[in-house]
Amino acid sequence: MPLDVRNELDLSAWWMPFTANRQFKTAPRLFASASGVTYRMADGQAVLDGTAGLWCVNAGHGRPEIADAVHHQLMELDYAPPFQLGHSLAFELAAKLARLAPAGLDRVFFTNSGSESVETALKIAFAYHRARGEGQRTKLVGRERGYHGVNFGGMSVGGLVNNRRMFPAMPYVHHLAQTHLPKRNGFSVGQPEHGAELADELERMALLHGGETIAAVIVEPVVGSGGVLPPPKGYLERLRAICDKHGILLIFDEVITGFGRVGAPFATQRLGVTPDIMTTAKGVTNGVVPMGAVFASRQIHDAFMQGPPEAIEFFHGYTYSGHPVACAAALATLDIYEREGLLTRVLELEGAWAEAIHGLRGSPHVTDIRNFGLMGAIDLAPRPGAPGARGYAALLGGLANGLLLRASGDTLAFSPPLIVSADQIGEIFEIVGKVLKTID
């Protein structure tokens, strides 16, 4: 029997995140179960998961191997404090992750979310410079349209206005220009041709502020929440070169792009540009247990390992860093990724993916379409005077027609689990095409 949500559930107490609470509670949309690439809603409706939950369920839903590993771990060692003590799974997982990462980026710090990974990365950057006698590097550079979570550091380097306007941001943070150039790069398939020169703003900042005062630059190699913006060809290479010239650390936020989303374990490998620090979360446990991992270069890590060996080198960490249950989930997840070839499967799918999403060019309201790996976005023209309303209508239309898509303002974003079939990809965009014809 489907749940009668409004009569059986008190919806008032949960203050929901990033949600129009009052609107939601008048017409709640509740998930009930999930398996493979399909959710079932509380009203019984089956819904194709076009977003891998929230860019995280890369191996698909309801994987018994992960459930078994979590259950076993809960009964074996449910919790262990990670300060001055440890347990073997965290070391095993860190070693496994280090083998997946690009050469040299092989020291791993565990967190519980993408936001915590970003805060950790920024703190590593500041502390690294101090450890080397460069404590004057107090500035950070982010980018417009970037999303790096919601804690103070990540919010400050982030570039989404609604996430920033209500809160005081950190001082000494500057932003590069965003890279979406629809007039020059509209409807690009994969990386756009134009815009590498936008990275040169970092050089201008270095000249204005003094390159030796900038600690780090943080960008998503492919922007996710800000609207799926693949980097213009040559852009990341230029950013890397300017960072090297001025001794600035380059941080890639791979919370979305990590774990196979773009056809390689991490986007850095697909794009051929290696950062000094890399943040991850989401797909590390297939989204089923909160966990994040920050990868630092050997050089950065070793700069901390100075002084007397009994001294704590980095005064930072979380009660749940390397939580045994999260580690068990992550190890089982990585086994699935490896066994099923999911970290590179997107290379086989992305041709069909690109064709299907770009097939909607010319559909009502569509002003731009972008794709990279198994990520895609469709920009809709906003309704006059009502930004976001059309995107929201598309979200509702998708659900009514059996598809979960993500609406961020008037941009629709897509990122299904990496186990999706070519037929299901066709189905996703068939539904989107239908929805676009029905919404006004």
In terms of CB distance, is 105 or 255 closer to ligand PLP? 255
Residue 253 within binding range of ligand PLP, rule CB under 6 A: yes
Q: What is the DSSP letter of 18?
A: T
Number of residues that bind ligand PLP (CB under 6 A): 14
Residue 224 within binding range of ligand PLP, rule CB under 6 A: yes
In terms of CB distance, is 47 or 56 closer to ligand PLP? 56
In terms of CB distance, is 60 or 149 closer to ligand PLP? 149
Token couple for 207: 């000249």
Q: Closest residue (Cβ) to ligand PLP?
A: 114
Shortest Å, Cβ 97 to ligand PLP: 17
Residue 114 within binding range of ligand PLP, rule CB under 6 A: yes
Shortest Å, Cβ 150 to ligand PLP: 6
- CA 398 vs. chain centroid, Å, equals 22
- CA 135 vs. chain centroid, Å, equals 30
Q: What is the DSSP letter of 195?
A: -
Which member of 206, 256, 273, 289 binds ligand PLP (CB under 6 A)?
256
Sheet of 411-414, strand order? 366-372, 375-380, 411-414, 406-408
Segment contacting ligand PLP (CB under 6 A): 108-116, 180-188, 311-319, 327-335? 108-116
d(CA 277, CA 120): 10
CB neighbourhood size of 311 (10 A): 8
d(CA 271, CA 301): 24
The residue assigned the tokens 């770009």 is 358
C-beta of residue 51 within 8 angstroms of C-beta of residue 411: no
Residue 255 within binding range of ligand PLP, rule CB under 6 A: yes
In terms of CB distance, is 229 or 356 closer to ligand PLP? 229
Alpha helices, DSSP H only, in 369-421? 389-400
C-beta of residue 432 within 8 angstroms of C-beta of residue 398: yes
Segment contacting ligand PLP (CB under 6 A): 109-117, 163-171, 396-404, 405-413? 109-117
Residue 226 within binding range of ligand PLP, rule CB under 6 A: no
The residue assigned the tokens 């990520």 is 375
C-beta of residue 305 within 8 angstroms of C-beta of residue 313: yes
Residues 143-172 that bind ligand PLP (CB under 6 A): 147-149
The residue assigned the tokens 């950057």 is 125
In terms of CB distance, is 254 or 410 closer to ligand PLP? 254
Residue 113 within binding range of ligand PLP, rule CB under 6 A: yes
Shortest Å, Cβ 223 to ligand PLP: 8
Shortest Å, Cβ 255 to ligand PLP: 3
Q: List contacts with ligand PLP (CB under 6 A).
A: 113-115, 118, 147-149, 220, 224-225, 253, 255-256, 281
